[in-house]
Amino acid sequence: MSGYHLGILVLLSFNVIAAYAVYLPLAAGQLNLGIAGFMVVGAYAASYLTNEMGFPVVGAIACGGALAAAVALLVAIPILRTHGIYLALATFALGQVIAAIFLNLDVVGGASGYPVTAHVGAVAVIGTAVGVIGFMALLSTTRFALYLTAVKSDPLVSDLMGINIRAIKVAAFTVGAAVAAIGGGLYAHYFNYIEAQYFSVMLSVYTVLYVLLGGTQTVWGPLVGALIFTLMPELLRASAQWRYALFAIFIILFMAVRPQGLITAGFGKYLRRQFVREAA
């Protein structure tokens, strides 16, 4: 495999991890625009542990994920009292505050960035993305996935049926933050350098678009959305400076025709029937 193709595969892996970090809150009806803030927590925490305290990379990234989950759990209780656009604005502000804190922390380089000595290879990044996909697929077969769908579809009826709506939303928000932080830790150790400016609100917006384009009704939607967002600009590379304009037009037309995303529950059942028919 050429270096170019390996680079695309690694980029796709990072995008897949970020997409699933956004997918879990969205599956519970929460638009989280602060996902980049949790990535920066994982990136800086893991890097500091490997640089300054001699942690092994795997342990440091796991600790970064746990720290981001703890932060998410702490802020989820007040933030998740809001709904709709107000929740989106609250998470947007949270992401900006977290990034600003690391931007002004001299102990991790401040605005100059933070070099990371330990390195992880492409295999570790790709393997983690596959692991995240497997974890989400397994989670989709549990009652937790049903609770997410119920809470998103009709919170009032879900509450009447005895589902603890607050606990389900907090769990989705927290697990999503942990997945984002693991992606941030891997990013820091793959590129061996991080700066808080990279984890801007635009990163959160792009990541939400992955999920909305692929669809939130099935666990495969974020994977398809990340695939399209990663590969389409490369396929349009021949059109030089027009490729991003063409890609933007494609996104606008696609969302106008299919606002529910590409992979819906009905489309997923159709694909499964076709697969079973072909196998027979």
Contact 211, 69 (CB under 8 A): no
Indicate the SS3 state at residue 133: helix
pLDDT reported for residue 213: 84
pLDDT reported for residue 275: 65
Contact 229, 210 (CB under 8 A): yes
Say how far apart CA 22 and CA 176 lie, in whole Å. 6
Contact 64, 46 (CB under 8 A): yes
pLDDT reported for residue 278: 67
- Average pLDDT of the residues in 99-116: 85
- Residue 232 confidence (pLDDT) above 70: yes
Q: What number of residues does the chain have?
A: 280
Tens digit of each residue's pLDDT (9 = 90 or more) over 201-221: 888 888 888 888 888 888 888
**Which pLDDT band, with edges at 50, 70 and 90, does 279 fall under?**
low
Say how far apart CA 15 and CA 133 lie, in whole Å. 12
Tens digit of each residue's pLDDT (9 = 90 or more) over 147-166: 888 888 888 888 888 888 88
Q: Which residue has the higher pLDDT, 161 or 178?
A: 178
**Which pLDDT band, with edges at 50, 70 and 90, does 240 fall under?**
low
- Residue 248 confidence (pLDDT) above 90: no
Contact 189, 49 (CB under 8 A): no
- CA dist 204 → 23, 69, 120, 208 (Å): 12, 17, 24, 6
Contact 90, 37 (CB under 8 A): no
Mean of pLDDT over the chain: 86
pLDDT reported for residue 127: 94
Q: Which residue has the tokens 């796709």?
A: 12
DSSP label of 105: -
With a CB cutoff of 8 Å and minimum separation 6, the contacts of 177 are 21, 35, 38, 68, 69, 71, 72
DSSP label of 115: E
pTM, two decimal places? 0.87
